[in-house]
Chain A
Amino acid sequence: MISRRKWLSAPYTLWSVVFILIPLCMIFYYGLTDKTGAFTLENITAIATAEHAKALRLSILLSLISTLICFLLAYPLAMILANMKVSQHSFIILIFILPMWMNFLLRTLAWQTLLEKSGVINSILTFLHLPNINIINTPYAIILGMVYNFLPFMVLPLYNALSKIDENVINAARDLGADNIHTFFRIILPLSVPGIISGISMVFVPALTTFVISSLLGGSKILLIGNVIDQEFTQASNWHLGSGLSIVLMIFIILNMIASAVFDKEGEGSML
């Protein structure tokens, strides 16, 4: 039986080799060769050119800010939700997944309507005699789009990690004399590290590499590294350069994966 069961892994093993591992090798192949097929590092070093470096710097900056905002918004929320002791874990996850049933592009575009000069938000602000905000087609709108789209990916791992903390561990800290602040910094925060790491990587990677949010909310002038790579593939058809720049992006992604592997061995901070 056991030996027969081993064969059951064949379909997935085959699938992951053909559709996960080989494609990654293809990126490295294209990234490290030129049009004639000769080995070159030019596609990688191209990141240092002014235009590309600027796009990468902006991407890193915007994604770091978005990740930080997501974290600051999500942590209190996850704590409140975890303390609510809702018997249905599934219900909480559901409310965060539900928006995904409205198309991602439309949801992001809706922010245009909300943010426009005479849009909904400004009308409300005017009504309240508050200054209007004009952030559409600026990096701020991109940050807003990132936070909006990726917030659930920060909330869910944090919620999961926080609701796994044994109530008696917190009681024990209180019993030993810890006040709320001590209990938070010495017990709750350290115990939620797997969730924090997982949340950060779930937000940082897509934010760093997005080209959709920037093209929908940033106008056409703001280029992120994702936009550059997209253009190399869909407009310039320079797959070698696009692959080379992707390899640079993958360095960040791999660092992220290592961090998750080190801090979240048990998969405690997983999303589901």
Chain B
Amino acid sequence: MRNALKKFYIALIFLFLYAPIATLMVLSFNASKTRAKWGGFTFKWYVQLVHNDDILRALGNTLLIALLSSVIATVIGTIACIAMNTMKKRTRTIMMGITNIPMLNADIVTGISLMLLFISFGLRFGMGTILLSHITFNIPYVILSVMPRMKQLNPSVYEAALDLGAPPVTAFFKVVFPDLTPGILSGFLMAFTMSLDDFIITHFTKGAGVDTLSTKIYTEVRKGIKPEMYALSTIIFVAVLVLLLLVNAAPDKKEGKTRV
């Protein structure tokens, strides 16, 4: 009885979380152009999507920004973790405090602070400014994923590699790096997801004429969302879902605690 109640509660919460997603998927097959009415089943939005250059360009921008910003953030963040690990406790606490600022700060404040910075430095708003902003808010996700792994590392492992004659750089990549990989990977995924889903910071740091999917949707809100957008979102979501299921079903389960 109690168990049934628990399952029912979990089911309700998931219904709440996933109902809008299901709605969007249904809308992507809706022949009627308004989302208020069901006009019959159709694939036409998926077909038209291929010819909608505006949306495809926004998609390209979004993916490019997400990929570049998460890769760069992962590199900078991982290097920072290695450096912070050898720092004195006080310096490290200060560094972690600064790292937490973009996490805890409101997106709107981060967004306008970066906007003011770019204005003051006279940077031209566009893909470049979006990329810099995304790297900035992505680094903390990487650091917060890698740092716990770093703390779990047994320092003797690195020393043992040195003792056995490995040069420092080899020792790092052969014995330390593999232990960090799960943290780095989850940090990267987290950063990629956050970049993809960001609207507010992009909203303040993009220039006129450049759009990501988020900002494009925001401008479309008033005149009505193009159904192609639902089709695209459905494709992305299903693709990610399938990918994750494949990864999770993979036989390699030795790292049971891989995060994210």
Contact = CB atoms under 8 A, between A and B. Distances in A.
A binds B: yes
A8 B83 contact: yes
Contact of A209 (B13, B109, B144, B248): B109
A12 B76 contact: yes
Given A103-B233, A272-B144, A243 B244 contact: no
A239 B116 contact: yes
B117 A102 contact: no
A106 interface: yes
Interface string B5-46: 010011001101111110110010000000110000000000
Contacts of A148: 16-17, 20
Contacts, number: 235
Given A12-B77, A106-B225, A246 B21 contact: no
B67 interface: no
B215 to A, nearest CB: 9
Contacts of B79: 8-9, 11-12
Nearest to B229: A106
B120 A99 contact: no
* Size bracket of the B interface: 35 or more
Contact of A106 (B77, B145, B230, B260): B230
A97 B18 CA distance: 11
A181 to B, nearest CB: 15
B196 interface: yes
B248 A80 contact: no
A96 B93 CA distance: 29
Contacts of A89: 257, 259
Interface in A4-46: 5-13, 15-16, 18-24, 26-27, 30
Q: Which of A18, A95, A97, A119 has the most CB of B within 10 A?
A: A97
Which DSSP category, helix, strand, loop or mixed, fits chain B's interface? helix
Contacts of A229: 108, 112
B153 interface: no
B86 A113 contact: no
Contacts of A105: 199, 214, 217-218, 221
A233 B99 contact: no
Interface of B: 6, 9-10, 13-14, 16-21, 23-24, 27, 35-36, 76-77, 79-80, 82-84, 86-87, 95, 97-102, 104-110, 112-117, 120, 132-133, 135-136, 139, 144-145, 148, 168, 186, 190, 193-194, 196-197, 199-200, 203-204, 213-214, 217-218, 221, 225, 229-230, 233, 236-237, 240-241, 244, 248, 256-260
Q: Which 4 A-B pairs have the closest CB atoms?
A: A9-B83, A23-B113, A110-B20, A12-B80
